[in-house]
Amino acid sequence: MRQLIEPPNIASSGVRAFFTTKISADNNINAALAEELNIAAENIYLPVQKHTINIHVLDSAREPVIADAVVTNKKGILIGVLVADCVPVLLWDKRRGVIGAVHAGWRGTAGQILKETITTVEERYNCSTNDIAVAIGPSIRQCSYEVNEDVKSAVRDATGEGDYFRKKGEKYFIDLSHANKLQALSKGILQENIWQSDECTFCNPERFYSYRYAGGSAGRQGGFIGMW
């Protein structure tokens, strides 16, 4: 497997967090990760992603459910989301021992899935936003993500003012990574507890899968986090 991107704000002996880059072979991420990390494939949990704002609270049951975010306080399981331009976000509450993985495309961003995920860990695990580290992984950025007015408006309604979009003719260029960072800040996450990748998946097709670059043939990279 090629290089893993490990967010420095989630670096601790009891937790492993990373974003994958392109995986060679047959793009079977579970199998590749299981071998690379020497963990059993059944201890890797991915939800069935459908661009929903469903948040799955993972307990001992391991059946995949339709959701675009997963949270848990269980140890010994790697949770993750798969993306190919959309924004992968990892959460870690060191104090409560709670982790989360979020898939935020434009629909998820417009649905405030990151904020809803944080609300979920507050309610279910008594987490405090002061304790939550947020890592925002590689995604398509403003340089390369052209959208129509309706997408821009939906994201703006959810995010508010900010420099995460600009108009060009009838189109807009929008930065969902930055929009999610602004949503995290507005939810109360501390600036110093947020790490944000500066890489664009579209601009780095050798390193990342990009749906906009490769179309339907694009593979997927992921964001993963687990506690041991």
The site for Zn ion (CB under 5 A) is made up of 141, 143-144, 200, 202-203
Residue written as tokens 């986090």? 225
CB 112 within 8 Å of CB 183: yes
Minimal distance, residue 142 CB to Zn ion, in Å: 8
Q: Which is nearer to Zn ion, 103 or 141 (CB)?
A: 141
Q: Which is nearer to Zn ion, 40 or 143 (CB)?
A: 143
Q: Which is nearer to Zn ion, 151 or 200 (CB)?
A: 200
Task: Give the integer Cα–Cα distance in Å for 47 and 96.
Answer: 23
Strand ranges inside 65-110, DSSP E: 69-72, 78-83, 87-93, 98-104
Q: Which is nearer to Zn ion, 119 or 144 (CB)?
A: 144
Q: Which is nearer to Zn ion, 195 or 202 (CB)?
A: 202
Minimal distance, residue 196 CB to Zn ion, in Å: 15
Minimal distance, residue 155 CB to Zn ion, in Å: 17
Q: Rounded to the nearest 5°, which phi and psi values hold at 105?
A: -85, -165
Minimal distance, residue 77 CB to Zn ion, in Å: 33
Q: What share of the chain is helix, strand, coil (3-state, %, to 5)?
A: 30, 30, 40
Minimal distance, residue 90 CB to Zn ion, in Å: 22
Sheet holding 171-174, edge to edge: 146-147, 171-174, 165-168
Burial (Cβ within 10 Å: 0-12, 13-18, ≥19) of residue 42:
exposed
